[in-house]
Structures are given as C-alpha cells and as structure tokens.
Amino acid sequence: MELLYGPIRDYAWGSRTAIAELQGRPTPSAGPEAELWLGAHPGAPATVRRGGAAVSLVDLLAAEPGHWLGGRLVERFGPRLPFLLKVLAADAPLSLQAHPDAEQARAGYAADVARPEGRRNYADPHHKPELLVALSPFDALCGFRDPLESADVLAAFGVPALEPVVGALRGGPAGLREAVRLLLSWPAAERAGLVSAVMAADVDGPDAALARDLAARYPADPGVLVALLLNHVRLAPGEAIWMPAGNLHAYLRGTGVEIMAASDNVLRGGLTPKRVDVDELLRVLRFEVLDDPVVAPLPVAPGVVRWPAPVDDFALYGVRVADPGTPVRLAVPGPRVVLCGSGRLSVDDGTGPLTLAAGQAAIGPADAGPLLLAGAGEAYVATVALT
C-alpha cells in the first residue's frame, strides 16, 4: 500500500477544529476545513509520493488501470475510481440538495452542453448516491417525513400565506410535490416577509428552533420552510444515513466519514446563495416518505462491520483492532482506500506493512492480497461492491 495525501477543501461551513484534531494538528486551523478528499475526483485528487514528488491519483490510475483498478472494475465503470471517500466536518448547515440517478445524470449532462455555463446543472454524466457515517454526534436533514406531520408543524405557525402549502401536505404523499413547488416558487419580493412571519410566531419546540436557526443564516430563503418537511436526524457515532438519488437532504453540524459515487452533480433546493433550478430539482426529487433514514452497521466478521448501501460503486467497512496481538483480516475486491480514524494501525495487503496514524490514509491496488490490520485503533475501508 502507499500513503495517500488528500487535499482539504476550505468551504465556509467547515470546522476549524475537527479535521485538524483528527490529524493531530494545532487548533484552530487558519481557516475553515470542510472536507478531506481521499480519491481520484478531478476536482481535487489525492496524491501519492513518487521519487520525492507528488503524483496525482488520477495520473497514477490512468497509467496502470489494470493494476490499480482491476479488469472487472474497468469493464463496469471505465478506467476511473468510481468512489470518493471524505472526512466531512460541518460547523454550519450545508445547502438543501439532491442528486440525480444515473439516467438523469447522463441526460442532464448531455442537455447542458447547449446551455450557457452559468445555467448548467450537471458537472458530469454520473450519479451521486452518498452514505455518511458519524464520527461525532451529527445533525442532518434526510428525506421527507410524513406530510401530515409537516402540515401540523407549518399550521402551528398561524401564517395565513402558508395555508395552500398546508393544504397540499394534508393530501399526504401525493401533495408533497405541490408543497415543495409552492415554497420554492415563492415570489422573491415576498420571501423575507414569509420567513419573518414564521419566525415571529409564538411557537416552541424543535421544529421552531430549527427554523429560527436556519432563518438567522438565510432570512429570505424559503428553504428554511422546506427543511421542516424533512426528517431531522441526530446520529450517534457509528450510525449512518443513506442518501440515494432523489433524496432531499442537508447536513447541519458534525463530523463524519462520507463515501459517494465519484460525481459532482448537486441540485440545490435552498439554504444557499447559489443558483436553485426549481424545475430541474422537482424533476429529480423523489416525493416519497422516508420512515427511517438511519442505517445501522452490520457485523460481517470479528472486528469488522459494514454499512449497507444498494449500489456497486462503493462499499464502506469499519474495522476495530482492539488487541495489538490479534490482527483483523479483511478480504475485499478491487482497489481499497484505508483511513485511520483513531489510534495507530499497521496495514498490509501483502506488499509490506504501512503504519497509519489517526487522520492518515493509504491506497492499495486491486491485484493485492487481503488486508491485515494490526495495532490498536479504528479504520474505515472503502472499496467497490462488485461480486
């Protein structure tokens, strides 16, 4: 295996402590550190060291696709790493967003070629399902909750202008599309007044608290109210949320390990100064009730769990090595990226051991042997789910 050096993205919502603490650096960091990218996405590829120089993982895989990716993966996905592993550290809410399925991404990307750059929605022709595992208590919005419950929440504010939205929600799941359309299509000149009226209502409870927190950041954004249509989830460390295509979601606060298909296709629905294409978002969204967004880890071997996700682009395993004298063995297909989440671990795929401290990562090729992890600590192993 080889040490993998991932770039850190400095988005404004990022934490100035979480990633630095994970990697054992001084805190606070000089600026926000939102995401540590450990993959071959062209937007910010990780690197390995060769002859004292940094070599992009994109170039490394392109030079030896059979060695690093394996023939079956190249046949299925082409000569590219189909997943991206991240550490995500949110100190403020991210935008409401959803991602297209594979067919929508291909069609949207092809159609965008004829549009001006500022009006394009699709960065590539790939889907972007996501799975996030909490490293700390993690707050998120994920999937539509029962619209009758959402109707009661909005009605409690007593704002007459919201009555058409409440009426649509009273129609159950069939009314979700119309409720979201009404909110996101609200006349721009009236948005600040609508949000202010909701905030001025004498209403208590977690939904009102969430709306006030979001409105303080986005006082004229109807996404504040769309957020109240979603499940508000608090993950304990080790729990996960799965975000398939068409799932409207937003991360609010916390640190987690995220794995996704290697795409940059994001359709925003609010809580952002960036462009929102309401029509395209409504076309992509799945207006289905998500009863339970939380994904629990499944034991697969002593010291090893997996968070299930119904895609073959990626698979994510958690490994806990408790006894320095008892290594944990993990046989996985395809290339693998290993992130040390805590402690200090020796990782060997048959090519010689490599020691990882917390926050360090390594990559191994598809044609290497099973992983052997020793020492004391926890690791996250990303690979593909080809059988």
Q: How far apart are CA 157 and CA 162, in angstroms?
A: 9
Calpha distance 161→118 (Å, rounded) = 32
Packed helices 188-200 and 206-217: angle between N→C axes, nearest 10 degrees: 140
**How would you class 56 by CB atoms within 10 Å of its CB: exposed for 0-12, middle for 13-18, buried for 19 or more?**
middle
Q: How far apart are CA 247 and CA 260, in angstroms?
A: 14
DSSP states of 1-55 as a string? Answer: -EEEB--EE--TTBBSSHHHHHTT--SS-SS-B-EEEEE--TTS--EEEETTEEE
| Alpha helices (runs of H) in the chain, residue ranges in sequence order | 18-22, 57-63, 65-68, 71-77, 102-112, 147-155, 163-170, 176-184, 188-200, 206-217, 223-226, 278-284
Cα separation, 352 vs 365, in Å, equals: 13
Write down the pLDDT at residue 63. Answer: 94
Q: What is the dihedral of CA 364, 368, 374, 380, to 10 degrees?
A: 40
Residue 317: its H or E element = strand 315-321
Q: Within a 10 A sphere around the Cβ of 82, how many other Cβ atoms? A: 25
pTM over 0.75: yes
What Cα–Cα distance (Å) separates residue 14 from each residue in 43, 88, 105, 349? Answer: 18, 8, 28, 34
pLDDT value at position 52? 87
Confidence (pLDDT) at 333: 86
At 127, the amino acid letter reads H
User: Could you read off the pLDDT tens digit of each residue along the chain, which spans 387 residues?
Assistant: 999 999 999 999 999 999 999 999 999 999 999 999 999 999 999 999 988 899 999 999 999 999 999 999 999 999 999 999 999 999 999 999 999 999 999 999 999 988 888 889 999 999 999 999 999 999 999 999 999 999 999 999 999 999 999 999 999 899 999 999 999 999 999 999 999 999 999 999 999 999 999 999 999 999 999 999 999 999 999 999 999 999 999 999 999 999 999 999 999 999 999 999 999 999 999 999 998 999 999 999 999 999 999 999 999 999 999 999 899 999 998 899 999 999 999 999 998 889 999 999 999 999 999 999 999 999 999 999 987
Instruction: Please tell me whether residue 142 adopts helix, strand or coil conformation.
Output: strand
Helices (H) then strands (E): counts for the chain: 12, 22
Angle of helix 176-184 versus helix 147-155 axis, rounded to 10: 40
Give the tokens for residue 127. 């889907």
The reply to whether 16 belongs to the active site is no
* Strand partners for 96: 270
Q: Of residues 268, 306, 320, 336, which has the active-site annotation? A: 268
Given a contact cutoff of 8 angstroms between Cβ atoms, the answer to whether 95 and 272 are in contact is: yes
Q: What pLDDT sits at residue 118?
A: 84
Residues in the chain: 387
